């Protein structure tokens, strides 16, 4: 299906395009980097392709833009741009005085600026969503599903452009980015498979009872940088097909893929105001959660942020599900296929620069498999660092300088606590990108369970190695860890695999495969400290989370006359 393009502010990247109008005013910038390129450009440049207009002034200015909107290569990104909020189907330039720079993590070139939206803008966004949902909830189920199918066709038609945008802004390789797009489509297709069920019917002697699932109303979706296109679609399709409106707050470090999604939702024909996008930091999230019309919150991010969001949501009586940090283990038994296992471990630990909540970040070598570590080191050394858009790149940069510094600090803490760094990825040589946020594959041996490198989620290409005498000791190590995203076992013995599956306490289990995030119709079953939400009903079904059950009871006989 072809896509009808609407005009986008990112088209200003084409310097040969004549200037039509300039945006008035300048905004101050929060600059978290000391890069010289940033120091030379502290204030935003003027926008050459459109002052934010009301629909009457410029009806085509409807969607936020992405760095991939009108360029064919990253060299075209000479002029930084400004990311706008998507409110009621219109592109609005924030009046915020606080802006964050977004860089290409391999080159430090500024790609765009993101506002920390004001309280007034957030209140307006929620009000738009609240009003739109009143009509949307009356739309037939079949029509909602039809619009989701249209969205799938549009995403498929633009998959390469989406992958380019993800790779440029987040840093992952093009192959990884394309995989993300494919899985995002799978999530929408799964939402389309939600049954059109009105609930239950119960007939008693004198009464009839009916239960129905009704939409909650306005749902807030807060997503991280590492899967900027996929993770919003963990929740949004289910919220839409069940009759809810959505306010999406994407990561301020990687906003453009979410803006592309907003564009495609409009092109698919969804009513304006059903999906809105506002930008900002944790302060913007706090403002969103303070709005009374918001009924549910879906959050994916770090443990500290999840804890903060959870406390605010519960204090304001909102339904909340928060998925946060993990420490995913791999257990290697002596009967495992050595070569396949070591390559699987390397991919699970170092792929996407370790910036995955399901990264395989801790390995328990059982018995003599500890002797396999040198061969794992050689495989890790063969992986190439580079820009995610370059062919041959195996590992891209980390998202920011602060992320790089944090990973390096945790590696150093392992040294200071007595562990042995047998492969040190700090300060790697990447001649083509000397300013990139690169950390190479790192393997730490002799790790004890009390060490910081084991206790914390590192979120980088770092693998910590532990040892166990037998399978039961390995299971004990996994179960005593406070995180519960997932784990894997590598063995050729089905009895060992079944024993592991039955006794390990984590959400998702891989057998001879690295841990991977569930997609499609498979539920996300995170537990322990990796999940915060309704303790009595952890990880609600995707279609159940944004709905509430209501019961109606009807009497089979006429009501008795009231006596005076």
In a domain, 73, yes or no: no
Q: Are residues 347 and 260 in the same domain?
A: no
Q: Are residues 197 and 101 in the same domain?
A: yes
Q: In this structure, what DSSP letter does residue 507 have? A: S
Q: Are residues 356 and 309 in the same domain?
A: no
Q: Are residues 251 and 105 in the same domain?
A: yes
Q: Are residues 177 and 316 in the same domain?
A: yes
How far apart are alpha carbons 495 and 25 in whole angstroms?
Answer: 68
The closest of 59, 115, 119, 118 to 88, measured between CA atoms, is 59
- Yes or no: say if 323 and 524 are a contact pair by the CB < 8 Å rule: yes
Q: Are residues 334 and 204 in the same domain?
A: no
Q: Are strands 483-484 and 442-445 parallel, antiparallel or unpaired?
A: unpaired
How far apart are alpha carbons 11 and 468 in whole angstroms?
Answer: 57
- 508's enclosing H/E stretch is strand 508-511
The three-state secondary structure class of 510 is strand
How far apart are alpha carbons 85 and 80 in whole angstroms?
Answer: 17
Residue 22 has a pLDDT of 30
Residue 272 has a pLDDT of 97
Q: How many domains does the chain have?
A: 2
How far apart are alpha carbons 227 and 170 in whole angstroms?
Answer: 8
| CB neighbour list of residue 97: distance below 8 Å, 6 or more residues apart | 27, 28
Which residue, chain included where needed, has tokens 């039809």? 146
In a domain, 531, yes or no: no
One-character DSSP codes across 348-362: HHHGGGG-STT-EEE
In a domain, 556, yes or no: no
- Yes or no: say if 353 and 172 are a contact pair by the CB < 8 Å rule: yes
Number of CB atoms found within 10 A of residue 46's CB: 15
Q: Are residues 284 and 189 in the same domain?
A: yes
Which residue, chain included where needed, has tokens 């990112």? 10
pLDDT (tens place) for every residue of the chain, 564 residues total: 333 333 333 333 233 333 333 333 333 333 333 333 333 333 323 222 333 333 333 333 333 344 333 333 444 445 778 999 999 999 999 999 999 999 999 999 999 999 999 999 999 999 999 999 999 999 999 999 999 999 999 999 999 999 999 999 999 999 999 999 999 999 999 999 887 765 666 777 777 777 777 899 999 999 999 999 999 999 999 999 999 999 999 999 999 999 999 999 999 999 999 999 999 999 999 999 999 999 999 999 998 999 999 999 999 999 999 988 889 999 999 999 999 999 999 999 999 999 998 999 999 999 999 999 999 999 999 999 999 999 999 999 999 999 999 999 999 999 999 999 999 999 999 999 999 999 999 999 999 999 999 999 999 999 999 999 999 999 999 999 999 889 999 999 999 999 999 999 998 899 999 976 666 666 667 778 778 776 434 444 555 666 666 566 666 544 444 443
Q: Are residues 175 and 303 in the same domain?
A: yes
Strand extents, DSSP E, 155-311:
200-203, 207-215, 218-222, 245-249, 275-277, 294-300
- In 417-525, where does DSSP find H-type helix? 452-455, 471-480, 494-503
- 465's enclosing H/E stretch is strand 462-468
How far apart are alpha carbons 363 and 555 in whole angstroms?
Answer: 62
In a domain, 39, yes or no: no
| CB neighbour list of residue 562: distance below 8 Å, 6 or more residues apart | none
Q: In CATH, what number is assigned to the domain containing residue 488? A: 3.40.309.10
In a domain, 67, yes or no: no
Is 357 tagged catalytic?
Answer: yes
In a domain, 562, yes or no: no
Q: Are residues 336 and 317 in the same domain?
A: no
Residue 104 has a pLDDT of 98
In a domain, 162, yes or no: yes
Residue 529 has a pLDDT of 74
Q: Are residues 260 and 351 in the same domain?
A: no
In a domain, 346, yes or no: yes
Q: In CATH, what number is assigned to the domain containing residue 310? A: 3.40.605.10
From the candidates 222, 357, 465, 487, give the one annotated as an active-site residue. 357
Q: Which two tokens stand for residue 347?
A: 């991919």
Q: Are residues 307 and 346 in the same domain?
A: no
Q: Are residues 316 and 422 in the same domain?
A: no
Range of the domain at 431: 328-525
Number of CB atoms found within 10 A of residue 374's CB: 10
Q: Which two tokens stand for residue 205?
A: 């002697």
Report how far apart the first and last C-alpha atoms of the chain are (Å, whole number).
Answer: 70
Q: In what order do the strands lie in the sheet with 85-87?
A: 90-92, 85-87, 275-277, 245-249, 218-222, 294-300, 319-323, 531-533
């Amino acid at each position: 299906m072809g896509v009808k393009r609407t005009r986008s502010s990112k088209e200003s990247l084409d310097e040969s395009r004549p200037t039509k109008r300039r945006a008035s005013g300048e905004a101050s910038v929060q600059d978290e980097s000391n890069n010289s390129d940033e120091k030379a450009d502290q204030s935003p440049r003027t926008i050459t392709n459109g002052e934010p207009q009301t629909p009457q002034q410029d009806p085509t200015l409807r969607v936020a833009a992405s760095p991939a909107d009108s360029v064919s290569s990253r060299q075209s990104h000479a002029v930084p741009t400004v990311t706008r909020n998507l409110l009621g189907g219109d592109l609005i330039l924030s009046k915020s005085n606080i802006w964050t720079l977004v860089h290409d993590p391999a080159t430090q070139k500024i790609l765009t600026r993101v506002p920390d939206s004001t309280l007034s803008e957030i209140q307006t966004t929620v009000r738009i969503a609240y009003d739109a949902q009143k009509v949307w909830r009356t739309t037939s189920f079949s029509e909602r599903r039809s619009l989701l199918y249209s969205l799938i066709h549009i995403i498929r038609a633009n998959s390469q452009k989406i992958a380019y945008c993800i790779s440029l802004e987040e840093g992952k390789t093009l192959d990884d980015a394309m995989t993300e797009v494919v899985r995002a489509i799978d999530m929408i297709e799964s939402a389309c498979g939600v049954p059109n069920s009105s609930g239950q019917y119960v007939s008693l002697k004198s009464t009839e009872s009916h239960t129905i699932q009704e939409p909650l109303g306005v749902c807030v979706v807060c997503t991280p940088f590492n899967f900027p296109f996929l993770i919003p679609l963990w929740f949004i399709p289910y919220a839409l097909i069940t009759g809810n409106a959505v306010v999406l707050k994407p990561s301020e470090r990687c906003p453009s893929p979410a803006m592309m999604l907003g564009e495609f939702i409009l092109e698919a024909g969804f009513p304006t105001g059903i999906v809105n996008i506002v930008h900002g930091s944790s302060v913007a999230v706090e403002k969103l959660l303070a709005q009374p019309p918001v009924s549910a919150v879906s959050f994916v991010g770090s443990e500290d942020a999840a804890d903060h969001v959870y406390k605010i949501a519960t204090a304001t009586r909102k339904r909340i599900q928060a998925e946060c940090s993990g420490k995913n283990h791999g257990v290697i038994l002596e009967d495992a296929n050595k070569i396949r296992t070591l390559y699987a471990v390397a991919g699970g630990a170092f792929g996407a620069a370790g910036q995955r909540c399901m990264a395989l970040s801790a390995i328990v070598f059982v018995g003599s498999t500890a002797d396999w570590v040198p061969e794992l080191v050689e495989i890790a050394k063969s992986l190439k660092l580079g820009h995610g858009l370059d062919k041959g790149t195996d590992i891209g940069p980390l998202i920011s300088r602060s992320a790089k510094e944090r990973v390096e600090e945790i590696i150093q803490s392992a040294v200071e606590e007595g562990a042995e760094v047998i492969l040190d990825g700090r300060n790697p040589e990447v001649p083509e990108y000397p300013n990139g946020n690169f950390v190479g594959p790192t393997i730490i041996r002799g790790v004890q369970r009390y060490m910081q490198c084991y206790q914390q989620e590192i979120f980088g290409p770092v693998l910590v190695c532990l040892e166990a005498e037998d399978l039961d000791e390995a299971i004990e190590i996994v179960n005593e860890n406070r995180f519960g995203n997932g784990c894997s076992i590598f063995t050729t013995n089905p009895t060992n695999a079944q024993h592991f599956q039955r006794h390990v306490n984590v959400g998702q289990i891989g057998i001879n495969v690295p841990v991977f995030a569930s997609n499609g119709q498979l539920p996300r079953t995170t537990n322990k400290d990796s999940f915060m939400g309704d303790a009595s009903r952890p990880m609600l079904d995707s279609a159940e989370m944004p709905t509430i059950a209501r019961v109606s009871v009807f009497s089979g006989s006429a009501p008795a006359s009231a006596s005076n």
